[in-house]
Amino acid sequence: MHTPVLLEKVLELLNPQPNQNFIDCTAGAGGHTFAILELAAPKGKVLAIDWDPNAISLLKPQNRLLAREGNYADIAEIARQEKFHPVHGILFDLGFSLNQIEKSQRGFSFMRNEPLDMRYNQNNPDTAEKILNYYSRTQLEHTFKEYGEEQYAKQIAAEIIEVRAQKPIRTTKQLVEVIERATPKSYRHKKIHAATKTFQALRIEVNDELGNLQRGLSEAVEILEPGGKIAVLSFHSLEDRIAKNFLKQNQSLSLITKKPAVATAQEVKLNPRARSAKLRVAVKQPHVNSLSQ
């Protein structure tokens, strides 16, 4: 069962009111979506966006729920196409859903032997396999270091170059074996799996996650009503840094969370995915004109 992370905090800080409209930029399994929809009754609507068509197919559009396949980097255009305004709140939940790990067979998890795809949307021409087999050593090292903060980025990149010269790297199992050969034995017995950071880096690179977040946040401010709120739920330091800097530095916004909201020990116990979650929320200044009309 999908458990939405920091649900109570999201609802508390976004504070949906009856008849208000919200956009859930990463609908996933709909945990946050339906909770917001309930509080926005009787006339408030939610526009649920997800880049993964499988996620959208699980949502059943109803009177007050619109479901739209798309990249949240294009949130302004999607809202205009759907004639969705005014917008009183926008949620970016940057965690990927358990459905993508458990059922997609796209290689998001190093715990399964699957093809190295890692695309949220199959129209994206780039795959993890292409990156691993065609990027130069320098490009691979940069990807692992910048997007995974991987301390053994140089060694892993070098091992990939050596292995792929003999045989293409096509599966998650092959990649895990490469990472284990490239890193010290002690690194493979830490609390965090040795492949975690490399897999994160590849997923970010394949889907341009950080670039899309920057563009999505900028467009979200455009369509948000004065007094409306933006909430960003991030799961690693790179996303959180972008969210923190954007919400703090954008002159149209005023931070509500001086420090990010995090999960309680009880929530982490019930839902380990919440351990790394950080929630930041800002409100659009009342005097700033909205471009949603």
The pLDDT tens digits along the chain (293 residues) read 467 999 999 999 999 999 999 999 999 888 999 999 999 999 999 999 999 998 898 888 788 999 999 999 999 999 999 999 999 999 999 987 666 566 678 999 999 999 999 999 999 999 999 999 999 999 999 999 999 999 999 999 999 999 999 999 999 999 999 999 999 999 988 888 999 999 999 999 999 999 999 999 999 999 999 999 999 999 999 999 999 999 999 999 999 999 999 999 999 999 888 999 999 999 999 865 555 44
CB-side exposure of 204: number of CA atoms within 13 Å? Answer: 25
Sheet order of strands, 22-24 included:
65-69, 46-50, 22-24, 87-93, 224-234, 278-284, 253-255
Residues 214 and 92 in one domain: yes
Distance separating alpha carbons of residues 83 and 289, to the nearest angstrom: 18
Q: Is 79 left (phi over 0), alpha (psi -120 to 50) or beta?
A: alpha
Residues 183 and 114 in one domain: yes
CB-side exposure of 73: number of CA atoms within 13 Å? Answer: 11
Q: Domain boundary at 190, 207, 224, which?
A: 207
Q: Domain boundary at 157, 185, 207, which?
A: 207
The domain tally of the chain equals 2
Distance separating alpha carbons of residues 118 and 101, to the nearest angstrom: 10
- Crossing angle of helices 196-207/137-148, nearest 10°? 100
Residues 95 and 216 in one domain: yes
Residues 266 and 190 in one domain: no
Q: Domain boundary at 207, 226, 253, which?
A: 207
> Does 171 fall in a domain?
yes
| Cα dihedral 245, 247, 252, 257 sign | negative
> Does 49 fall in a domain?
yes
The domain in which residue 115 lies consists of: 104-207
pLDDT score of 288: 52
Count of CB atoms situated within 10 Å of the CB of 63: 9
> Does 293 fall in a domain?
no
Q: Which residues contact 283 (CB under 8 A, 6 or more apart)?
A: 227, 228, 229, 230, 253, 254, 256
Residues 92 and 134 in one domain: no
Distance between start and end Cα atoms, the chain: 38
CATH code for the domain of 109: 1.10.150.170
Distance separating alpha carbons of residues 90 and 246, to the nearest angstrom: 15
> Does 111 fall in a domain?
yes
> Does 291 fall in a domain?
no
Residues 120 and 265 in one domain: no
Q: What is the CA 213 to chain-centroid distance, rounded?
A: 8
- Amino acid identity of residue 221, one-letter, is V
pLDDT score of 54: 87
